Structure 1
Amino acid sequence: MLNSTALRALGRSASKSAARSLASPHTLHLRNSCCRSISSALRPSPVSNKSQLVSVRGFASTARMMTAPRTETDAFGEIQVPGDKYWGAQTQRSLGNFDIGQPQDRMPTPIVRALGILKGAAATVNMKFGLDPTIGKAIQQAAAEVADLKLVDHFPLVVWQTGSGTQSNMNANEVISNRAIEILGGTMGSKKPVHPNDHVNMSASSNDTFPTVMHIAAVLEIEDSLLPALTSLKDALQKKVDQFNDIIKIGRTHLQDATPLTLGQEFSGYVSQLERNITRVENSLPDLRLLAQGGTAVGTGINTFKGFDEAIAEEVSKMTGKQFKTSPNKFEVLAAHDAVVEASGALNTLAASLFKIAQDIRFLGSGPRCGLGELQLPENEPGSSIMPGKVNPTQCESLTMICAQVMGNHVATTVSGMNGNFELNVFKPVMIRNLLHSVRILSDGMKSFEKNLVVGLEADRKRIESILHERYASSLFLSFHLLYLSVLTWTHLVLCLSLASTPLLDTIWPPRSQRMLTRRASPSSRVPWSSRLLARRISTSTFVQS
């Protein structure tokens, strides 16, 4: 019997554990695509449960109704495991050995989902090669619950573990084994009738399981989250191209005034950047569709069945609705992860493009009175605690910070990709964590940027026209029609005498003539006006200031 002091301590411990789990970004931010059932077609008819454990989502009731610890065993002997958790001995040891970065650095949710998909597919294939159907169907049902993220709170391990992902693979094996045992009416932790290694991990090794899971998770996240967000942002910017196409503004090179263009033309460059980034990301997918499963420990396929690898790829394709294939060379996909580095590189390029776009929009909206002020950014929230009325370009700032993080993720992924020593790369968890993190924040960042900035973005036509008519900038266009030195002399004369005015400049160059923006003057059309002729025309103008 626990005394009151012990009960209070137990309650505090449970509360802290609950807070850590709730704070996990992967628990807080599950994607809609993860909520749909992945393997409903393959899930057998539910078997009556002997008991239903208290879900860790009900943290308050869990603290009050916490079950007694149970004993689990592995090659190192016995270890106590929380009675309300499905994981086993190896997961519990990893929790003690790698108490690093909890809860923020837990294995990403898409990896948990992919583990459920793969284990369900393996059970289906293994039944064709002799696995007891009763055991196989129970594994299928448990794996489907993992794939649907119903058991996500039973995956507590962090990224910072063994570089092969072995402990996360065993975490999945143990959770699915104990859940299947429960489904069949057995005793959790007994490993009977479902063993985590002999049945759930049948025909597999962590060395081919984890890279397979990496590729499944990457393809699902890129196709279901990143590409839709990227395409939507590109389409939103295209609408701005159409909206701004009649607005002539001054161009800028080297941060200095240059020749004119339309605001629509400027934005068309952004659209083209994103179109090319879509192509780059899509081009990285074919190698990610190649699965390592069937290579087992070092790529030879020892302890598996002939045709197992093709059958796994086919089953995973059915369950996900995506096209996967078995890798033609298992040695390469175990020892190197060039496909992940390539995909990360595509995201790095996308980040560079988005940074440029957000930076341009931020500067074009600077001011509003003492900056460029050509764009009017939506006012979403107060910008200062000391300056009333100040509104900042927060969406631009958020997106550029995301881009900086993605670039950092790519550096770590590149270094990790280099560390494939001999037959196995041992930086797998951090590689896939960084790739999935980049996909997540880029997807969310682009959605936010589109919704909270691009859609409501407007041009300040009066400000753009005012800048366009200012002295030095307007003279630049004359070089299409006059000799360079003549224009230079005229420009200096106007600047020195402060003679420039909008009507005067309009007599020399009508700024609204959009046709002239794309026409190149032939050498014969250039009139070699002398400085004297220019000065005489200026001096006779009624708009010259005294």
Structure 2
Amino acid sequence: MTQATRIEQDSMGERTIPKDAYYGIQTLRATENFPISGLRPLRTYIDAGVFIKKATAIANGELGCIPEDVSKAITQAADEVLAGKLRDQFVVDIYQAGAGTSHHMNLNEVLANRALEILGDEKGNYRRVNPNDHVNYGQSTNDVIPTAIRIGGLLALKRTLYPALTKAIASLNTKADEFQNIVKSGRTHLQDAVPVRLGDTFRAWADICQQHLYRLEFAAKDLTFLGLGGSAAGTGLNTHPQYRFKVAEILSELIEEPLQPAPNLMAAMQSMAPFVHVSGGLRNLAQDLVKISHDLRLMDSGPKTGLKEIQLPPVQPGSSIMPGKYNPVMAEMTSMVCFQVMGYDSAIALAAQAGQLELNVMMPLIAYNLIHSIEILGNALSALTEQCIQGITANSDRCLAYAEGSLALVTALNPHIGYLNAAAIAKESLETGKSLREIVLAQNLLTPEVLAQVLDLEQMSALPKPH
């Protein structure tokens, strides 16, 4: 059965488009030119672009730049896409024409064709609603795409990463309270060190994550300054004098963020620094999450030949050949996601420096990598919290045994018998198997009462009180 089609025309000629398609001729050309990865634009990135098109349609309608009925039809079409419709019509590969022109025209064509239907017209009959002249009025790929990256980043942070990070912090603090009275051996250089509290270990992780949340919130402020209204080169050509202020105000209401026009629209178009700033914050968080994930794996190692100070909840069988084996899979997954985020950050840094003159044409890569980093990091952190952190239990007996058997306890003797004497006692203990207590008492270096006070694990592992 022959598929129904329609004919569309652009500056390069005519092409046949599936009649049911909401995309148009420029999107078709892009799908033919860029069969690269099979990766399509992220949902959040689509949302960001559609929010922009809704805001611009409202602003241009109120300013009298496009007909009122066209403004309303584009706005309704945008609302339908934001509600989940027509998602299969955004079909351009993420590796595409520089600056994002192909994805931008995909947006313009889908919204124009749906607006035509709303007005009772046929898709592809662009006399009444034109992708360029109406949906894209007063805009350019060059100011829309960097704005879409900003909006997409803010949406992804608010929807995914901030809630995940906040929940992880709360869960780590809950475990810190639960484990506060459990003393374990500290380790530096993977060697025995002075005793610490298991609860303090978890509380330190919570504070590390809290500081990263603050850093990300600070970096994200860069995303609130929009170059929208700069048009092709930052000069605002073909825009109403009030457009950039009105569209920023409308967008602020739509996504509930304090947006404003950038002080210099040309600078906002050329510099990718805001995205590098946020990506650097993501990389920084990822690096510490790798460290925490690896710590969890080490502390859970065993069960017979490792540390096994804690038990991570088993969530699936760990081996296709070894029965009864369970692996720390949630921590392993988290590390892999973090490595990907670090890789994305490197690509963003390379792309950010690759602009020339009035434009950076590498924005499609930045858009995908930045938003995807935020979302996979948030999703991984949510999974780690719910499937791992919240179910961790402590092996308190083993923690105490390691703490009591650690030669690093000798450190507490330094102020009383001197570093060299303490070192000699540690060496003798290691060679003979005798405890530190036995040797100190045998050599009459300290009385039993003083020694008991000096080697008090509770006192040794207590953190200093804050002012």
**Fold conserved between structures, TM > 0.5:** yes
Aligned residue type for 1:152:
R
**Residue number among 445, 453, 456 corresponding to 2:380 in the alignment:** 445
**Residue number among 152, 155, 162 corresponding to 1:217 in the alignment:** 152
Deviations 1:392-416 (A, max 9, x none): 0101100000110000000000001
**Structure 1 residue 515: Cα displacement:** 2.5
Shift in CA distance, 471/181, structure 1 to aligned 2, threshold 3 Å: closer
CA contact (8 A) 2:139 2:229 kept: yes
Q: Which has the higher contact order (CA 8 A, sep 6+)?
A: 2
Deviations 1:437-484 (A, max 9, x none): 111111110000001110010110111111122262433332243211
**Structure 1 residue 122: Cα displacement:** 0.8
**Structure 1 residue 518: Cα displacement:** 4.5
CA contact (8 A) 1:248 1:512 kept: no
**Residue number among 497, 502, 514 corresponding to 2:458 in the alignment:** 514
1:476 aligns with 2:411: yes
Tell me how far apart the structure 2 counterparts of residues 497 and 323 of structure 1 sit (CA, whole Å).
Answer: 68
Look up the match of 1:118. Answer: 52
Tell me how far apart the structure 2 counterparts of residues 238 and 154 of structure 1 sit (CA, whole Å).
Answer: 45
1:486 aligns with 2:421: yes
Find the structure with the greater CA-based Rg: 1
Tell me how far apart the structure 2 counterparts of residues 491 and 371 of structure 1 sit (CA, whole Å).
Answer: 23
Look up the match of 2:219. Answer: 284
TM normalised by structure 1 equals: 0.80
1:68 aligns with 2:68: no
Deviations 1:78-104 (A, max 9, x none): 1011122101100001111111111xx
Look up the match of 1:405. Answer: 340
**Structure 1 residue 167: Cα displacement:** 1.1
Aligned residue type for 2:461:
L
Q: Tell me the secondary structure at the aligned position of residue 165 of structure 2.
A: helix
Deviations 1:313-345 (A, max 9, x none): 001111112211111111111111100010000
Shift in CA distance, 471/201, structure 1 to aligned 2, threshold 3 Å: closer
Look up the match of 1:203. Answer: 138
**Structure 1 residue 174: Cα displacement:** 0.7
1:87 aligns with 2:13: no
CA contact (8 A) 1:471 1:495 kept: no
CA contact (8 A) 1:114 1:147 kept: no
TM normalised by structure 2 equals: 0.93
Look up the match of 1:109. Answer: 43
Aligned residue type for 1:149:
G
CA contact (8 A) 2:193 2:406 kept: no
Q: Tell me the secondary structure at the aligned position of residue 514 of structure 1.
A: helix
Shift in CA distance, 156/471, structure 1 to aligned 2, threshold 3 Å: closer
Look up the match of 2:36. Answer: 100
1:337 aligns with 2:287: no
Tell me how far apart the structure 1 counterparts of residues 341 and 427 of structure 2 sit (CA, whole Å).
Answer: 47
Look up the match of 1:78. Answer: 14
**Residue number among 303, 311, 316 corresponding to 2:251 in the alignment:** 316
Look up the match of 1:414. Answer: 349
Tell me how far apart the structure 2 counterparts of residues 364 and 162 of structure 1 sit (CA, whole Å).
Answer: 48
Deviations 1:294-320 (A, max 9, x none): 000010001111011010100111111
The number of equivalent residue pairs is 454
Tell me how far apart the structure 2 counterparts of residues 205 and 245 of structure 1 sit (CA, whole Å).
Answer: 57
CA contact (8 A) 1:112 1:149 kept: no
Tell me how far apart the structure 1 counterparts of residues 463 and 238 of structure 2 sit (CA, whole Å).
Answer: 71
Q: Tell me the secondary structure at the aligned position of residue 386 of structure 2.
A: helix
**Residue number among 337, 347, 351 corresponding to 2:282 in the alignment:** 347
**Structure 1 residue 419: Cα displacement:** 1.1
Q: Tell me the secondary structure at the aligned position of residue 388 of structure 2.
A: helix
**Residue number among 344, 367, 383 corresponding to 2:302 in the alignment:** 367
Shift in CA distance, 258/480, structure 1 to aligned 2, threshold 3 Å: farther
Look up the match of 1:129. Answer: 63
Tell me how far apart the structure 2 counterparts of residues 184 and 499 of structure 1 sit (CA, whole Å).
Answer: 90
Q: Tell me the secondary structure at the aligned position of residue 164 of structure 1.
A: helix
Q: Tell me the secondary structure at the aligned position of residue 79 of structure 2.
A: helix
Look up the match of 2:234. Answer: 299
Tell me how far apart the structure 2 counterparts of residues 516 and 353 of structure 1 sit (CA, whole Å).
Answer: 27
Look up the match of 2:327. Answer: 392
Tell me how far apart the structure 2 counterparts of residues 201 and 426 of structure 1 sit (CA, whole Å).
Answer: 19
Identity, % of aligned positions: 37
**Structure 1 residue 504: Cα displacement:** 8.2
Look up the match of 1:21. Answer: none
More displaced 10-residue stretch of structure 1: 319-328 or 343-352 = 319-328
Structure 1 unaligned regions, length at least 5: 8-66, 521-546
Tell me how far apart the structure 2 counterparts of residues 353 and 393 of structure 1 sit (CA, whole Å).
Answer: 18
1:267 aligns with 2:211: no
**Structure 1 residue 494: Cα displacement:** 2.7
Structure 2 unaligned regions, length at least 5: 442-447
**Residue number among 143, 163, 168 corresponding to 1:228 in the alignment:** 163
Deviations 1:264-291 (A, max 9, x none): 1222221111111001100111110111
Tell me how far apart the structure 2 counterparts of residues 471 and 124 of structure 1 sit (CA, whole Å).
Answer: 69
CA contact (8 A) 1:469 1:502 kept: no
**Structure 1 residue 501: Cα displacement:** 8.3
CA contact (8 A) 2:425 2:439 kept: no
